[in-house]
A and B are shown apart, each in its own frame.
Chain A
Amino acid sequence: MNALRTASIADHFAALGVDEPLLAAALAAATVHGADQAELYVQHSTSTSLGLSDRAVNRVHTSVDLGVGVRVVVGDQVGFAWTEDLSQEAVLTAARTAAEIARGLGRDPGAVEIPRLSDGLDIYPLSRSWSDVALDERLPLVRAWEQAAFDRDGRVRKVQVSLSDGEKRLLIARADGLRVADVRPMTSAWVGCTIEDDQGRKETGSYNVSGRTDLSYYTADRQQRLVEQAVDRAILALDAGDAPAGELPVVMAAGSSGILLHEAIGHGLEADFNRKGTSIFADKMGTAIASPEVTLIDDATLPGARGSLNIDDEGNPTQRTVLVQDGVLSSYLHDGISARHYGVAPTGSGRRQSFRHPVLPRMRATYMEAGPHDPAAIIASVKKGLYCEHFANGQVQIGGGDFAFYVKHGYLIEDGKLTRPVKDVNLVGNGPKVLGTIDMVGNDLAIDEGGWTCGKEGQSVPVSQGMPTVRVASLSVGGGR
């Protein structure tokens, strides 16, 4: 492999003072007391965010983030230090600080291997860098979305729009000699509106899209959907009412319902929680943890998806990981530490928010494989229940397995038909219990295009999620105000 990308990015950082001699010296300092794993994570990010409100494009934010994180791993112990100063003295000090974790363990000093360059996958559709896109190329988009929102419905009173984009350049230099780099683009657009009807009733609606790609992401179709969904969701909310309280059968719509997987099972399959024994799925490998209809994937290789990665943040190759096959637990999500702990290959799931954060096993794009059922038949099968369509946020307790997700909009199901719209209701359940009661899976898998962000131990990383329409026997619905 020519490793052209890595060579190019290594040149970029060398120009900033972090050249191969400094990388080698820092790795030697990091492993002076020995290490099972050590790396430098050098990052240079740029981003631009443009905002519209009050019928004017009246704010822009630009940011530059530059720094290096040094991590030393001994067994399952981690020493970590970071600095925003790329001088030789600062980088070497960070390396020596990280090395302290191994002091006194009686290990031999690590041998820093001869550098070998590698490139990861190439899955971001990026024909043009965001840094080459002039601000006045973005302005017409933002203005057009605002106008389209006002044009969509005469009840629209206020519109706000934002368009954010940027690139993260990173170089990972490991003590085992690997040098691997990535340029990660990201763009996100958001349209929000407030509507008011002739009776003075008000509601808000918003929609957002996000992907690791370039300006071509904003096709006419996507722009239209961005605006129409924002306005239509506000209109839907205007007529929506309270949901009932108590346990009900629930049908999850295709797409962003993947939030159920993310919370009910995804976090619990991150291997750090399992090697520490704190996940409800610890010691369950090879056993049935869901109904046979459920096959669950966490995939870093979907082209342009927000959660996709060419390499993970330890420099490992990424992959499509089958977590649950026909209801049976088949893999955790591993970083290097957990992979060594379990004696398996890393799954390319080691992620970090930035050079300021240590690596953790994380999800990328999590989804359930499609099943055999017609989505309409799934709805028709429910006598009385709730259809969940749009979501805001979720959370899980890893050990107990209890999880929650907030339904922004949905519908009551009465006698197999969608009837009254409902809004703003939290649903709670227990992961293993719920996974065992998914008894119908639709044939309409959709990966949601929204800008989902996952939080764990103070770190936020972009993720994707998807789902076919599914039926869940029972969840506790927090309505009945």
Chain B
Amino acid sequence: MNATDPTTQPLLDLAGDVVRQATQRGADEVSVHVAQSTSTTIQRRDGQVEEASRSSGKKLSLTLLVDDRWSSHSTSDLRPAALASFLDTAVAATRLLEPDPARRLPPAEECGRGASEADLQHLDPAWAGLTAEDRGHAAEAMEAAVERVRQDDTVSATTWFADGHARSVEVTSHGFADHTTSAWFATGGAITLSDEGGRRPEGYSSYATRYRTDLPSLDRIATEADRRAREAIGSGPVDSGRYTLLLPGRLAGRMLGMLMGPMSGGSIHHGRSVLADQLGARIGSDLLHVVDDPTIPRGLGSTPWDDDLRVARPRVVIERGVLREHYLGTYYARKLDRPATTSSASNWVLPVGDRSPEALAAEHPKAIRVSGFLGGNANGLTGDFSFGIRGTLLEDGQPVKQLSEMNVSGNLLTLFHRLVALGDDPWTYSSLRAPTMVFEDLAFSGT
């Protein structure tokens, strides 16, 4: 366990006291999480602060095992008498359930910290020194950057700067006690333009990072928001057919995220997964190589332990197209009588290619570069998906029409076999770190 500071110790004491109280009431196993957080957001529009908000919260959640019966609970009413009554009710309710011994805590020796707090770099030292004046100036600077790209057809421009700090502790009845501390920063802008027929195309760009200095330049953010709005001017559908898809890394989560649900132990156990029988099978081309890495410094999905408090380590979940692991936390591993892996995804990292997105686009006579998704969903059991898109039709890499009112559809089991190239532009502002992905021969529907 890491050394604790004076602010964290009271949270550890509270969590430890709840473990004791629950045990005294008859719980055999207890796991308590307490999180204390603050955040500030300043949103500006048309030269003035539109909204300034500040939060200050402390919340406790716990799981109980009473005579092999399991329950979970959460409360923000931490007055001692209220908490005692809350625990009375929680333990009594748990006794009414049917046994589920697979819910027992994982062995204590499997629990603990992977990366240290120092290695994770989740707490920017600059956060503590941030003043109200700094925040005001940061929001003004974001607005100023957007004003620099403003044109006569700009109807509205909204910008924001936000930051937050969170401290959380985990204490269990089997001896685990540790804490994490983190900060985050976010800034961005949204631009609305006027277009023919009363349409008001909109574009936005927004970033969140652990360290403030990792945020991209404000001019880049403003330019992206303006460009995305302008790309929607005069947009419409083209003929239905099969096209190459260029998927920017910032949007890759829409496609890669479809894998995560069917890879989860819950989906597999409850018979809702298209990937249940695919372990060791090829589910994509060699380019689909996914490392789940919870140790990336400053990573938005990095964590010292998983949901079961088991040590978090890097794992190759898809190896050059072959599915190597399901996400099996302790509970579903026991249910399925299989070894546990880890409970859920942390950071997903894909390899990087050696060509720019522009060079990749130029290789395809006709391609659709998607700039955003609209609605849609996927069936986790059959793998069928269908998503609305907007974007640009490219011919030999050159834009020929802005697209909207179109869909892309397919099946998860064939989609990643059509992954033919990766760009040299990894997207690092997300827990899902992928470059531009190129898929050939996908079904797009328009007119």
Evaluate whether A478 and B408 lie within 8 angstroms (CB atoms) in the complex, with A62-B90, A356-B55 already known. yes
Interface: A245 (CB within 8 A): yes
List which B314-359 residues lie within 8 A (CB) of chain A: 335
Report the minimal beta-carbon distance from B197 to chain A, rounded to whole angstroms: 8
> Which B residues lie within 8 Å of A392 (CB)?
377
Q: Once the chains are docked, how many angstroms separate the CA of A356 from the CA of B198?
A: 35
Q: CB within 8 A of B71: which of A61, A202, A282?
A: A61
Most buried by A among B93, B156, B198: B198
Contact A478 B409 (CB under 8 A): yes
List which B181-195 residues lie within 8 A (CB) of chain A: 192-193, 195
Interface: B99 (CB within 8 A): yes
Per-position 1/0 for A51-84, Cβ under 8 A of B: 0011011111111111100000000111111111
> Which A residues lie within 8 Å of B202 (CB)?
278, 397-400
> Which B residues lie within 8 Å of A423 (CB)?
379, 384
> Which B residues lie within 8 Å of A78 (CB)?
50-53
Evaluate whether A428 and B405 lie within 8 angstroms (CB atoms) in the complex, with A60-B97, A194-B271, A203-B381 already known. yes
Q: Once the chains are docked, how many angstroms separate the CA of A7 from the CA of B55?
A: 29
Contact B75 A60 (CB under 8 A): no
Interface: A429 (CB within 8 A): yes
Contact A358 B76 (CB under 8 A): no
Q: CB within 8 A of B379: which of A82, A263, A398, A424?
A: A424
Q: Interface size on A (CB < 8 Å)?
A: 88
> Which B residues lie within 8 Å of A396 (CB)?
374
Per-position 1/0 for A194-218, Cβ under 8 A of B: 1010000011100000000000000
Q: Once the chains are docked, how many angstroms separate the CA of A302 from the CA of B379?
A: 33
Q: Which size class do B's interface residues fall under?
A: 35 or more
> Which A residues lie within 8 Å of B381 (CB)?
194, 202-204
Q: Once the chains are docked, how many angstroms separate the CA of A79 from the CA of B377?
A: 37
Evaluate whether A246 and B56 lie within 8 angstroms (CB atoms) in the complex, with A399-B200, A480-B409 already known. no
Contact A480 B200 (CB under 8 A): no
The chain A residue with its CB closest to the CB of B376 is: A426
Q: Once the chains are docked, how many angstroms separate the CA of A58 from the CA of B59?
A: 25
Contact A64 B200 (CB under 8 A): no
Q: Once the chains are docked, how many angstroms separate the CA of A54 from the CA of B99?
A: 11
Q: Once the chains are docked, how many angstroms separate the CA of A263 from the CA of B376?
A: 13
Listed stretches A369-377, A402-410, A462-470; interface member: A402-410
Q: Once the chains are docked, how many angstroms separate the CA of A65 from the CA of B60?
A: 10
Listed stretches B114-122, B253-261, B280-288, B439-447; interface member: B439-447
Report the minimal beta-carbon distance from B222 to chain A, rounded to whole angstroms: 17
Contact A59 B72 (CB under 8 A): yes
Q: CB within 8 A of B445: which of A58, A82, A194, A480?
A: A480
Contact B200 A278 (CB under 8 A): yes
Contact A77 B48 (CB under 8 A): yes
Report the minimal beta-carbon distance from B360 to chain A, rounded to whole angstroms: 24
List which B399-414 residues lie within 8 A (CB) of chain A: 404-411
Listed stretches A94-102, A121-129, A342-350; interface member: A94-102
> Which A residues lie within 8 Å of B56 (CB)?
81-85, 90, 93-94
Report the minimal beta-carbon distance from B412 to chain A, rounded to whole angstroms: 11
Per-position 1/0 for A82-123, Cβ under 8 A of B: 111100001001100100110000000000000000000000
Interface: B74 (CB within 8 A): yes
Interface: A132 (CB within 8 A): no
Contact A404 B270 (CB under 8 A): no
Contact B93 A64 (CB under 8 A): no
Per-position 1/0 for A458-481, Cβ under 8 A of B: 000000000000000000111111
Interface: B20 (CB within 8 A): no
The chain B residue with its CB closest to the CB of A80 is: B53
Contact A245 B409 (CB under 8 A): yes
Contact B199 A399 (CB under 8 A): yes
Interface: A412 (CB within 8 A): no
> Which B residues lie within 8 Å of A76 (CB)?
50
Instruction: Say what secondary structure dominates the interface of chain B.
Output: strand
> Which A residues lie within 8 Å of B200 (CB)?
277-280, 282, 398-400
> Which B residues lie within 8 Å of A478 (CB)?
376, 386-388, 406-409, 445
Contact A245 B240 (CB under 8 A): yes
Interface: A416 (CB within 8 A): no
Q: Once the chains are docked, how many angstroms separate the CA of A423 from the CA of B384?
A: 9
Interface: B80 (CB within 8 A): no
Report the minimal beta-carbon distance from B54 to chain A, rounded to whole angstroms: 5
Q: Once the chains are docked, how many angstroms separate the CA of A136 from the CA of B95?
A: 11
Contact A404 B375 (CB under 8 A): yes
Q: Once the chains are docked, how many angstroms separate the CA of A476 from the CA of B445?
A: 7
Q: Once the chains are docked, how many angstroms separate the CA of A53 from the CA of B97?
A: 12
Interface: A5 (CB within 8 A): no
Interface: A394 (CB within 8 A): yes
> Which A residues lie within 8 Å of B158 (CB)?
276
Q: Once the chains are docked, how many angstroms separate the CA of A202 from the CA of B58?
A: 44
Report the minimal beta-carbon distance from A476 to chain B, rounded to whole angstroms: 5
Contact B52 A101 (CB under 8 A): yes
The chain A residue with its CB closest to the CB of B378 is: A424
Q: CB within 8 A of B57: which of A80, A101, A356?
A: A356
Contact A400 B201 (CB under 8 A): yes
Contact B387 A402 (CB under 8 A): no
> Which B residues lie within 8 Å of A100 (CB)?
52, 132
Q: Once the chains are docked, how many angstroms separate the CA of A429 from the CA of B71?
A: 44
Interface: A449 (CB within 8 A): no
> Which A residues lie within 8 Å of B74 (CB)?
61-64
The chain A residue with its CB closest to the CB of B235 is: A400
Contact A277 B156 (CB under 8 A): yes
Report the minimal beta-carbon distance from B220 to chain A, rounded to whole angstroms: 22
Report the minimal beta-carbon distance from A420 to chain B, rounded to whole angstroms: 16
Interface: B215 (CB within 8 A): no
The chain A residue with its CB closest to the CB of B45 is: A276
Q: CB within 8 A of B49: which of A65, A101, A196, A401?
A: A101
Interface: B98 (CB within 8 A): yes
Interface: B232 (CB within 8 A): yes
Evaluate whether A480 and B240 lie within 8 angstroms (CB atoms) in the complex, with A194-B381, A247-B447, A400-B202 already known. yes
Interface: A430 (CB within 8 A): yes
Q: CB within 8 A of A404: which of B98, B193, B197, B374?
A: B374
Contact B50 A135 (CB under 8 A): no
Contact B49 A481 (CB under 8 A): no
> Which B residues lie within 8 Å of A406 (CB)?
375-377, 386
Cβ-closest 8 pairs across A and B: A478-B407, A404-B375, A399-B200, A245-B445, A194-B271, A404-B388, A56-B98, A426-B386
- Residues in B lying within 8 Å of A, measured CB to CB: 45, 48-59, 69-78, 82, 86, 89-90, 93-94, 96-100, 103, 132, 155-156, 158, 192-193, 195, 197-202, 232, 235, 237, 240, 270-272, 335, 374-379, 381-382, 384-388, 390, 404-411, 443-447
Given A78-B53, A424-B379, 4 additional A-B pairs, CB 8 A: A57-B98, A67-B76, A77-B49, A424-B378
Q: Please list 24 pairs of residues, one from A and one from B, whose beta carbons are closer than 8 Å in the complex, sorted by A's number.
A: A53-B270, A56-B97, A58-B103, A62-B89, A80-B51, A82-B56, A82-B57, A84-B58, A84-B78, A85-B56, A101-B52, A158-B271, A203-B382, A247-B237, A276-B45, A276-B192, A278-B192, A395-B374, A399-B199, A400-B202, A402-B405, A406-B386, A426-B376, A428-B375
